[in-house]
Structure 1
Amino acid sequence: MQSGVRVCAPTAALLGPLCRGCLSRARSLPGRSFSCSPRQSSRWNSQETCSPPPPRDNPRVLITGGLGQLGVGLAQILRKQYGTENVILSDIKKPPPHVFSSGPFVYADVLDYKHLRELIVNNRITWLVHYSALLSAVGEANVALARKINITGLHNVLDLALENCLRLFVPSTIGAFGPSSPRDPAPDLCVQRPRTIYGVSKVHGELMGEYLHHKYGLDFRCLRYPGVISATTQPGGGTTDYAVQIFHDALSTGHHECYLRPDTRLPMMHISDCHRATVEFMQAPECQLSLRTYNIAAMSFTPEEVAQEIRKHLPHLKVTYNPDSVRQTIADSWPVRFDDSNARRDWGWSPAFGLEELVADMLSAIRNKRTNEGLPIS
């Protein structure tokens, strides 16, 4: 091994065993000269590859964008496994009291590189889950802001992960595919030409992460999420949000107006499957991974199919269709199914929820939530 070159070799307790092939690949990384960038600590041009932090029993996790649909639930799971104090939620919004009291929360703007760096260093972060992003429909309404958060923010996170040898998870999306991609099913590797700034930024993230992994040994991990369905958070501006809103409407008014055509088929997933996939993927030994970005799948349905399943529980549900041109165009460019065979083979992915189980769980959870809040049920 060249003098001065260190290898990113995870500890057995924290990051899983390192295969001989992983070690050989890391040792083959070319040397680099130091950067003259204002970010003097950036590792982009350093002569050292990623080197892991000293061994410890549990990872120290920072979750950006933690008050969105996914962050709070993921934090709960990770805190049960690794300890409450080892998982830090962050966002630029004020957390509700139950989130603030449930574990560490800090203010973090992914566009503020210096402050984010301080958080990572001061809290000895070893895993970074980067959920900060503007979603598809919201991003199309404000492209400049989406470009800043989804791309500039991502580059800040990539730089810091490389500098501090973090295990970095960045979710991708069904939106990373475009009309020229195979749609039924969409494989892990194929043509990707998305037509939204959200999709473009996610493809950019996939490729940058893979590049930094192969060139510098960054432990970058990415899952392409389908539409994620959750009873605990409100829709956040995504094209698949109808599949959350329809449950709330079914129990509140008995009527849902859908912004997609009734035959629009898209991949979907219960949030508990999404969280479990993320945790299992983060825990998988690096040498088991043949890819850095994987599709994960659970089910695929249309608005009419989910409405019919809801009517088995609530026969009075009425659904009208008023397609929104922006969201319908986005949905028509996306796959109708994911091929997740590589995830199933490499690290044992398998979903627990199908459509029937998803509908029963969502209606039960939202009914209980409305009852506890004293809200009427249709």
Structure 2
Amino acid sequence: MVDDKVLRKLSQNLLEILEDNEYYDIIIEVETFQVILRYIYGGVVSLDEYDAPDVIKILVSANELNLQELIMILQSFLIENKSEWIELNFNDVYQMCFENDSFLELRRYCNDLVSKVPDKIFKSLNLSSTSEKVFISLIQNDDLQMSEIQVWEYVLKWGLAQNPELPLNRKDFSENDFNTLKNSLQQFIPSINFYNLSSEEFSKKVVPYRRVLPGELYDELVVHICNNPTKKSEPGARINSKRINSVIITFQHAELILKWINNLGTFSYVFSKFIYGDTTIINNNKFKLLLRGSRDGFTPEKFHEICDDQTHTVTIIKVKDSNEILGGYNPIGWKSNISYGATKDSFIFSFKDNKNIENHILSRVKFGLTAIYSSKDTGPSFSGVDLTLRNNNIGSCSKRSYENQIRETTEEFIVEEYEVFQIVKD
């Protein structure tokens, strides 16, 4: 007999499609559709006779039909019965689940694989077809057991694979060739802890490609390496270093935000401290990643599931089709019920250009009683007006409870990516 809960869930999924005004043109293979029909009419899913590629086809078709219960069943089947195939075809599987928020269980399994057998996974990747966002997410894995020099070598391999026209021998590179590689790698540089390399690793693996690094960073690294000779970097040595597990902001952004939280002064003070190596603030506080939209999903439901009642959080938002970054600090946490949270310590901010942290706007709370807005229908929200994320990756900013307007326009924007971090003592 079919489980009533399964049928109710199935009916709900189908009603959502029927009530949607969008036109659906979906082509599904006959054999694949037979599996789906058996599930629709009988609540039965028998997959033992299907190989992994066929199950993937069924999974993709179930997603196109918004059959959420079936999607969960198929993901569990792949994880429990086709793990070896997933490893061998990691590149395609991870790309698929990275681009689709419905495949979160499969995405988590892939992230766990990267943590456990990173070298095996990285060697299996087709780097020429691996997108920048996917590769960044791989090297940003919190539990990645890989030395920093290994990460740098794989990043270099990715950059070279993305530009097959470059000479095979680095000694034959022209200035334009180095610039091409530099442009490809610029988003990866903040994610690599060059400070943790030994002098030998630095001289052999980094110096030959010094022209792909920002000039100021390279100069500082030379001084650091000379004054702090270290042993060979080991796997797992990436924690508590000059890096942050973010695909949006860099260490420099993070330190500035921590200064704002601690009310420790102006940008010029922050930047000078960074240049001269004072990292006390960021070393004593850790940005613990709670949620990433591309990893965990963008829905308000997922936000509240992960972030409700979490205090001292920083939300970071990347605006689509721009270099703009928005964000805010919430010291008291959110709830799922409609309510306002009172605090005098929250603030919101913006960086007009993610590559220029000096071009920013900081807006501290003015009316503390309405500083934080909570509702199950919204994501992170500051006053409900000043900075709010809603469903369908839509956000808005209008001045009400905070001192300054943080955007030049009050028009809605589309969220390309967002992250929520908790500030914890290290």
TM over 0.5: no
Bigger relative contact order (CA 8 A; separation at least 6): 1
